[in-house]
Amino acid sequence: MRLLSLFLLININTAFLVAQQDSIVLLNGKVYRGTIISVDKGVLTYTGTEKKKQGVVIELTTDRLFSYVQNDKETVCYVQNEFIGDFLTVEEARRSTLGSYDARMNFKPHFVFYSSWALGLGVSLLDTYYTQSSYNKFVTENGVPPVNATVGFFGIRPTLMPVLVPLVLSATWGIPSFRIKGDQIIQKNMIGDASYYRGFHRIAKQRRIFAALSGSAIGIGAGMISYFVFTPN
């Protein structure tokens, strides 16, 4: 176990450290680099060195952290406590954190985004489509053609129906867990590890949901803009 811990620590240092910088590893796989000032009463204070955080003093509560590395020495903040939902052991939490880190680095839900964009655009366009049968029915019932509708795309004003698309897609893409590809795994020694996969899938799921929401919303927006651009009035 001690050898395994040392091996994983080396992996974390290799992946997370930049020379002469301290690093803070969150349980969700995020890594912040900077200069740690103090750790006191459950709060870690550090000065950021990354872009947009240069010289900024930042505070993080230690319950959000797995560990921090200062002067090449790792201090683990995570403590197993089933009463507050921290049911993983320290080693399981380490592997889960590594999985989350790898997902943040390598998981790109491009297919989810573009397919959601296409579906959002398609539904948005179909929402403005006025069919010939609807036109004929209106004429039959009223004796005159509709004033504010024409047959074809952009024939009627858009409704709120497309708003359902992001909700349905985000729920749908959030359900399954897909196979992790080999090139997405940085920590090759973690292949087959359940805790590592748990952390990876957690972040991958979040990213799929966000990609579905953003992609479909952009697609719907494109459809709405098209309506106002191509509608004469």
Is the model more confident about 2 or about 48?
48
Number of structural domains in the chain: 2
pTM: 0.81
Q: Which residue has the higher pLDDT, 57 or 85?
A: 57
* DSSP result, 18-55: -TT-EEEEETTS-EEEEEEEEEETTEEEEEE-STTTTT
Co-location of 197 and 149 in the same domain: yes
Residues 55 and 164 in one domain: no
User: Do 115 and 225 fall within a single domain?
Assistant: yes
Q: Tell me, yes or no, whether 87 lies in a domain.
A: no
Is pLDDT at 198 greater than 50 in this prediction?
yes
Query: Quick one: pLDDT band at residue 119, thresholds 50, 70, 90?
Result: very high
| Percentage above 90 pLDDT, the chain | 66
**Residue 54 within any structural domain of the chain:** yes
Task: Report whether pLDDT(29) > 70.
Answer: yes
Question: Mind listing the pLDDT tens digit for each residue in 89-106?
Answer: 999 999 999 999 999 999
**Nearest CA-CA partner of 31 in 5, 72, 66:** 66
Tell me the residue range of the domain where 176 lies. Answer: 110-230
Of 3-17, 24-38, 158-172, the one with minimum mean pLDDT is: 3-17
Contact 119, 216 (CB under 8 A): yes
pLDDT of residue 16 exceeding 50, the answer is no
Mean of pLDDT values over 127-156: 89
Do 52 and 118 lie in one domain? The reply is no
119 vs 49, 86, 103, 108, 163, CA distance in Å? 41, 39, 26, 19, 12
Could you tell me the CA-to-CA distances from 105 to 58, 98, 109 in Å, in that order?
23, 11, 12
Q: To which H or E segment does residue 124 belong?
A: helix 110-127
